Every structure is written in structure tokens, then in C-alpha cells.
Amino acid sequence: MDTQTDFLIIGSGVAGLMYALKVADKGTVAIVTKKQAVDSNTNLAQGGIASVFDLEDSFDLHIQDTLDSGDGLCNPDVVHQVVTGGPERIRELKAIGVGFNVDGDAPEKNGGKPFDLGREGGHSRNRIVHAQDMTGREVERVLLERARQNKNIRFYENHIAIDLITFSTRIKRGLVTTTHDDYCCGAYVLDRETRRVRTFGAGITLLATGGTGKVYLYTSNPDIATGDGIAMAYRAGATVANLEFVQFHPTCLYHPAAKNFLISEAVRGEGGRLIDADGKPFMQRYDPKRDLACRDVVARAIDTELKRSGQDSVFLDISHQPASFVTDRFPNLYEKCRSFGIDMTREPVPVVPAAHYMCGGVATDMLGRTDINRLYAVGETACTGLHGANRLASNSLLEALVYAEAAARQSIQDLAEAKKAVRPEVPDWDDVGTTDSDEQIMVAHNWDEIRRLMWNYVGIVRSDKRLARAQRRIDNIQKEIREYYWNFKVSPDLIELRNIATVAELVIKCANHRKESRGLHYNIGYPKKDQRWKKDTVIRRQIVG
């Protein structure tokens, strides 16, 4: 055993860091992150955190907006828990130093100015708490600073998790129950610098690895977003759910030199309009809410416009607003666009949809527990029931904060029970019989093929024929990867390839299963919503002992 810790956290975004700070006074904490700790989806989150602070707003309105966006698949109890828990979590962030924007013109109340609240698509009121257009970066900065100051928290940067370590001899079926005897004891982790596989034993393990955007050719996500937590949990026997619901952000910057740069939905919330190459608005043809429609509607509308016109992009125009307003509200966006020769105060910005957020994930209960004991999942890795078939804008950081708090409370109790039990010996990693790879081309080729087939066949608009093609290809790719994986020593690229292949396979299976169009899943063969499919898509790998 290389490392024994009370709490093992895989991932260093807002969910993992908040959880770490909550449990650190009850035990030792190891945070494993595959690059630098600051490399996370959180750090790229521009818009903000949705929560009720305005007198004209209410929990009921936020709940209803979330349910409407989720298109019939949200768990109402989860929605209530997250929405009502939001204000306290945001006040907590403010108290530890997060610099949210305040309304400078409003009178002070309760010792300070009220938050400046923005609005985004799908919201009926202004409720987006933000730090300029770099909210995620500001939250991550403060949480990282606090975590690094805590003597009980240790970071393992440039370490990539390979697989979870579990003890299981029973075949388990069905939905999340958290009553199974199976339990998690840690993870095998590759040290990227030494290329040695380390064994991390843990009383409690938390998956907070973020999303799956790199499964697709075009994405707003950073390179780390390869669905590691979902893939590891599935291989260990945990239930995953609703992976057909991949949210494509409607507006990523279209420029040959721009990589993964998202144009925040808050731009449309502040009056930005989507227009075609002729300068004509088009959203009125697709939804009464026009440019403030939910993301699934807007992404499909743009996809339709591009296919109809043959153009490479549509455009997002906020140049009708005063230049000073644009530069003050969106300083990061303005400077980034300027770096590519685009002045958003004077001209429209070319945009296209890109894979952005996974609404499905590892199925959990309302305390963040998976159906493997002592294994938790929070943030984008998890499927809590909040988002349903489509995430409401800026509910993601909110969910991460509320579930980190809930998971931490329960984890502390579970750790006390785990310490009473006899800890079995955890086997070290075994790579006997493997050699260093001499065929890296297999990794590079399959990585590229997976991302292209997912974009072309399992993208914004799907069909049974496209999904069948995708299934055939992923089956063949999986065979190649399995053969390669067991013959050669693991490498970071091979680990990530294995994970994106697993996630791609699961997305395809879920999409094939759902014979309707709902939320983010649109199949041209079943263009209508069908009440018979008003249920979660649940997949569980059978573990034979």
C-alpha cells in the first residue's frame, strides 16, 4: 500500500474542493488530480451560480424553471433540495472570500450590497450570482487557496486514476439502494512523472472528475474532461444513468485558432441576439422565448440553420448595447475575442454548438452515495436527478456545492463505521507480463475515431441508422483497446482512451434505448415526446464473482 487516507477525492473542481474542506477536520484527505489542481471544468465556468436572492424571485419559480428545463425527468425532491440549499452555500463562499459582483446602485442590506443578478436562458427571473464573466475561476481560486492551507489535505497533482478498488462477490441488479455489501477501498493511480502505479487505500472515496466533453470532436471542455469517474464507476459495478442527455452549448467561438472557448449564455441574457450570415435573427422561428430559450432548443435551432444554409457558423450580436456595458460585464470574453481580431462591441461573434455538459452520470441518492458502499459521486460526474433531460443554465455549480455539503455530512458518518470494520489487505497493482508500448498509433487513431464518430452519429440530432453505425464501430474499437490494454503498461493516453471508449459506448447504448425525443436527446425517427419513456435510462455492468 503506497498511501492510506481517510478520504480519497479524485478530481479538484468545485465539488471535490468544497467536499475536502468539509471533511478535513474529521480525517486525512488525499486529492488526486491528473494535471494541476487548477485544471478543471470549474475554472472555465463563466456564467455563474443560479440561486434565489431577488425579492421578485422565489424558490418555487426556480424549481419550476428547473423542472421545465428537465423535460419531465427531474427528481422533484432533488430539485427542491438543491434550490433551497443554494443561498446558504453562496453566502458561505462569499464569507470565505469569493468576490461576487454586487449591485453598486442598491442600498446596503445586512451589512453589504445585494448581489448583482444576471439572467440566462430558461430562467424566468434574474438569479445568476456571478464574478464578472469568470465565476468558476474565482470560486476555484478561493477554494484551492483554502484547501492548500489545510494541514489535513494533501494534493497529488499529475496523478491519473486508473480504476477503483472494490471487494465484491455478488451479482447485483437494479437501481441505487446503497444497501449492497460491495464497498470501495480506494483506487489505483498512475504517477505521470515516475510512470509508477500507486495504490491508494481509503475509508471513503469520492468521484469528482467532471464531465465527458472530450468524447466529442468539438467541445467547450478542457482536455481533462474524458469521463474518467463515470468509466471507473461503471467498470466497478456502479449504476450509471441518463447518459444519452449530452448538453451541447449553443455558442462556442468559431475561429480556427480558438480551442474550447465558450461564449457565455449570459451574453444572450444581457440582450445578445443570434443572427444568420445575412444579419437576420432566427430564434423566433423555433421558440417563443427566442434567444432565451433553453439550451437544447437553441443548439438544435443553430444546427438546423447551419444545415439549411451550408454556412460554417451563425453569429451572436450584442453590439447594439453600449460598449462600456459590454466591456464591464464581459471583460474576459471581450479580451479573448479581441485576441482573435473580433470586437464584440462593434461586430457579431461567430459561434457554433459544442459538447458542453453531461446531464447523466454515476447514479446517486440524495446524499451523493452510489450503490457501491463508501463510494460517492458529486458534480458533473454524478447523476443526482437534478437536471433530468436538460440542465438549466448555471445550475451546475449550484448542484456541486449543495451535494458536496450533503455528501460530506454523510461521509463523516460512514467513515466512523468504516473504521470499526476490519480493513482487508488491498492488493498492489499487477503489471506482470506487460511491456512498454511500441504501437502508440493505435491510441492516437482510436482516440480520433471515437471523437469523430460520436460527433457525426451521436450528436445534436440522431437517428437509429446513425446510432447503429456508432455501435458497430465502438464495439470493434473496444476489442482493440482491451487487447492492447492487457498487453502493455498503462500510460496517461491509454487510460484516457479506455475511458472515452467506455463513456462513448454507454452514451450510444442509452441513446439507442430511448425511442422518443426528449430534452437533449433528439432522434429524427421519434421526433415527439412519449410518456411511456418518462423514466430514467439505467445501465449496470454485471459483476460475476
Catalytic residues: 295
Give the whole-angstrom CA distance, residue 226 versus residue 213: 7
Distance CA 214, CA 226 (A): 5
Question: In sequence order, which ranges of 120-166 are alpha helices (DSSP H)?
Answer: 135-149
**What is the Cα–Cα distance from 364 to 425, expressed in whole angstroms?**
27
What is the grid cell recorded at 39?
Answer: 485544471
Contacts of residue 215, defined as CB under 8 A and 6 or more positions apart, other chains included, come to 226, 227, 355, 450, 451, 454, 500, 503, 504, 507
Which string of DSSP letters, residue by residue, matches 512-526?
HH--S-BTTB-BTTB
Give long-range contacts, CB 8 A cutoff, 24+ apart: 25-31: 25/152, 26/412, 26/415, 27/152, 27/203, 27/415, 28/152, 28/154, 29/5, 29/150, 29/152, 29/153, 29/154, 30/3, 30/5, 30/154, 30/156, 30/200, 30/202, 31/147, 31/153, 31/154, 31/155, 31/156
Nearest-angstrom CA–CA distance, 74 and 77: 9
Contact yes or no for 407/368 (Cβ under 8 A): yes
Grid coordinates belonging to 415: 467513515
Residue 293 main-chain phi, psi, to 5 deg: -70, 165
φ, ψ (nearest 5 deg) of residue 409:
-60, -45
Cross-strand pairs, 186: 165, 201
- Give one DSSP letter per residue of 258-274, joined into a string: --S-B--THHHHTT-EE
Decide if 460 contacts 353 (C-beta within 8 A): yes
Q: What are the grid coordinates assigned to 13, written together?
A: 473542481
- DSSP-based helix, strand, coil % in the chain, nearest 5: 40, 20, 40
Number of continuous H segments (helices) and E segments (strands) in the chain: 13, 18
Dihedrals phi, psi of 475, to nearest 5 degrees: -60, -45
First to last CA, the chain: 24
Q: Tell which residue, 363, 384, 357, has the closest CA to residue 230.
A: 363
